[in-house]
Amino acid sequence: MRPGVEAAGIRVTTEQLVALEGRARDLAFVQKARSHQQLAGRMQSTLRGRGLIFEELREYLPGDDIRSIDWRVTARTSKPVVRVYGEEKERPALLLVDQRINMFFGSRRSMKSVTAAECAMLCAWRILGSGDRVGGFVFGDDGMDEVKPHRSRNAVIALADRIAGRNAALSASYSASASAGLLNEALRRTAALAHHDHLIILVSDLNGHDDTTRHMLLRLSQSNEVICLLVYDPFLLQLPKAGKIVVSGGSLQAELSLGQHSVRDAIDSFARERGRELRSWQRELGLPMLPVSAAEETAPQLRALLEQSAWRQRRR
């Protein structure tokens, strides 16, 4: 057990992940854009829609179909008013859930692996509740599991089971360098499935990212909605001024003294440089990179982050 991590925050079970369904109901993903075209949907797509949904009332404009006029509102306001509908499109969702050894760390509340599992399942339950198909990839140090997107509770429970299985298999004996390529492999498999109009949610600390990772995210975001939930532990951002930590690459370990300024400065510099790099990616790629702390309760953080992201999109 890591110091400060509760026993319940070290591992997660299928039952615990399934039980998050009730906490996912008030999450808000990307807001549907308002459209001033009579039959414009929330996205351009060749997917078969599920019908038309009412979006808004607005004043009649030249060229509008007179059949769309709402006569009751027109009579009440003495101005011609039309009802605007949007075409409801299906948006399958793929969740990419990191359960590698780099996630098996926590200084308070829970391991990053547990927080990532909670994030993924909160998203999965909310997506299913909105009527869309959900599936994804769960990648660990020795492989990857795939759950095909389906619009069913069984699919979400299957995803929870795969996440819990990979979580249970986490072991400090794994080498972080050996599993670094699995992040890009998960993105490659996602690109093979998500050609357009998917919601893709990557839940990871992005350990092992490189130029290929950036290219794959750019490629995916050009025709899909991509959200990165960046799971982190605040330990590196708030280093204690005394004590020692053990860092490991799997086969090799080293003990570092936090009382030495050079050690603290090196760790601090690494953490800040990595943060700057990921913020630069966010600006360049134009996709949300939302930080989720393993030291705080997951659901309230996720709710606030998604609402903030939706607000920013409405402002643009």
Q: Which CATH number is 272's domain given? A: 3.40.50
User: Which 8-state DSSP code applies to residue 12?
Assistant: -
The answer to whether residue 40 is domain-embedded is no
* Per-residue pLDDT at 237: 62
Q: Are residues 167 and 202 in the same domain?
A: yes
The answer to whether residue 211 is domain-embedded is yes
* Per-residue pLDDT at 118: 98
Q: Are residues 200 and 260 in the same domain?
A: yes
The answer to whether residue 173 is domain-embedded is yes
Q: Are residues 64 and 146 in the same domain?
A: no
CB 145 within 8 A of CB 166: yes
Rounded alpha-carbon distances, angstroms, from residue 202 to 38, 129, 235: 34, 20, 22
Q: Are residues 69 and 102 in the same domain?
A: no
Q: Are residues 78 and 147 in the same domain?
A: no
The answer to whether residue 242 is domain-embedded is yes
* Per-residue pLDDT at 64: 83
Rounded alpha-carbon distances, angstroms, from residue 157 to 154, 163, 164, 217, 229: 5, 10, 10, 27, 21
Look at residues 69, 88, 107 and tell me which one is the last residue of a structural domain: 88
Q: Are residues 165 and 68 in the same domain?
A: no
* Per-residue pLDDT at 240: 52
Q: How many domains does the chain have?
A: 2
The answer to whether residue 264 is domain-embedded is yes
Measured CA to CA, the distance from residue 114 to residue 94 in angstroms comes to 19
Q: Are residues 150 and 279 in the same domain?
A: yes
Q: Are residues 68 and 21 in the same domain?
A: no
Q: Are residues 299 and 235 in the same domain?
A: yes
Measured CA to CA, the distance from residue 33 to residue 55 in angstroms comes to 9
Q: Are residues 57 and 187 in the same domain?
A: no
Q: Are residues 211 and 308 in the same domain?
A: yes
Question: How much is the pTM?
Answer: 0.74
The answer to whether residue 34 is domain-embedded is no
Q: Which domain holds residue 58?
A: 51-88
Intervals of the chain under pLDDT 50? 1, 31-50, 246-256, 263, 314-316
The answer to whether residue 130 is domain-embedded is yes
Other beta carbons less than 10 A from residue 300's beta carbon: 10
The answer to whether residue 35 is domain-embedded is no
Rounded alpha-carbon distances, angstroms, from residue 289 to 218, 281, 302: 13, 9, 12
Query: CB-based burial of residue 127 (10 Å sphere; 0-12 exposed, 13-18 middle, 19+ buried)?
Result: buried
Q: Are residues 25 and 174 in the same domain?
A: yes
**144-196 pLDDT tens trace:** 999 999 999 999 999 999 999 999 999 866 665 566 789 999 999 999 999 88
